Amino acid sequence: MELKNKVVLLTGGSAGIGREMAWQLKAKGALVVVTGRNEERLAAMRKDGFMAIAADLSSAAGVDALIEAWGERELDILINNAGQGVDHDFRQGKPDADAADGCIYANLNSPVRLITRLLPLLDRQEAAAIVNVTSGLAIAPRAGSPVYCATKAGLRSYTQALRAQLKDTPIRVIEALPPVVDTQMTADRKGGKMPADECARQIVAALEQDRAEANVGMVKVLKAVHSASPALARKVMLRF
């Protein structure tokens, strides 16, 4: 897909992978609108020339606010990048079940609702795209993040089914599967983290090349292992 002059709605675009994608898409001539929860970061993005919409996508109210702010304006590309993690490890004590709700909504419900509400706008274009950012953990889960892994696996399944539904339309459906990336979410993890700008570069390249999947960095290895032996992939990842 040619990105010049394309109108992009990028959720979670004020920090981490999203912010890097915003800059790279802008450099290619796209008109990028970002969303986020932190007003200070959003203000910084506005200062740098981006349109920024405040939206907490961990609830239905946040999705409704974003849809209302967007209105009927043109849309070529929707990138569902916003997401959050949650502590849910019984080895560390009893988890707070209520705390998982925001993670589930932000990572799974919100993309589904945004796609449902915005698909008519995308369908007006000669060429459009939906990019759902999942995770290598959608392929095989790690023991320490069961709720996060479940949401990303759910979004992966949704993306695959949606791609089949839209195969005869102008809308391309792309899944991006990052590895562990150096962002605020992974600040407490040491070593082995991909720089956010490189992760963003590979996702943007997949969008330009109309690839169905962007298996980023070490996810390529995990995908290959899983293709050969799903049981082995699960066994390796569940150690963490």
Query: Among 14, 125, 13, which residue's Cα sits nearest to residue 75?
Result: 125
What residue segments make up the domains of the chain, in order of their start?
7-237
Helix axes 16-27, 196-208, angle to 10 degrees: 50
Does the CA dihedral 36-39-40-43 come out positive or negative?
Answer: positive
Catalytic residues: 148
3-state per-residue secondary structure call for 117-135: HHHHHHCCCCCEEEEEECC
Res. 191: pLDDT tops 70: no
Helix axes 110-122, 146-165, angle to 10 degrees: 20
b/e for 130-144, b at 16 or more Cβ within 10 A? bbbbbbbbbbbbbee
Predicted local confidence at residue 192, as pLDDT: 78
Task: Give the least confident one: 66-75, 115-124, 179-188, 190-199.
Answer: 179-188
Average pLDDT over residues 27-34: 98
Predicted local confidence at residue 187, as pLDDT: 58
What pTM was computed for the model? 0.94
What's the pLDDT tens digit per position in 209-234? 999 999 999 999 999 999 999 999 99
Res. 24: pLDDT tops 70: yes
Predicted local confidence at residue 183, as pLDDT: 76
pLDDT > 70 in the chain, percent = 97
Token pair 């915003």 in the structure block, residue: 22
Average pLDDT over residues 131-158: 97
What's the pLDDT tens digit per position in 168-181? 999 999 999 999 98
Res. 103: pLDDT tops 80: yes
* CATH code of the domain made up of 7-237: 3.40.50.720
| Residue 88 vs residues 7, 92, 181, 207, 233: alpha-carbon distances, Å | 37, 8, 20, 33, 22
Cα–Cα dist 30/76, whole Å: 10
The radius of gyration of the chain's CA atoms, rounded to the nearest angstrom, is: 17
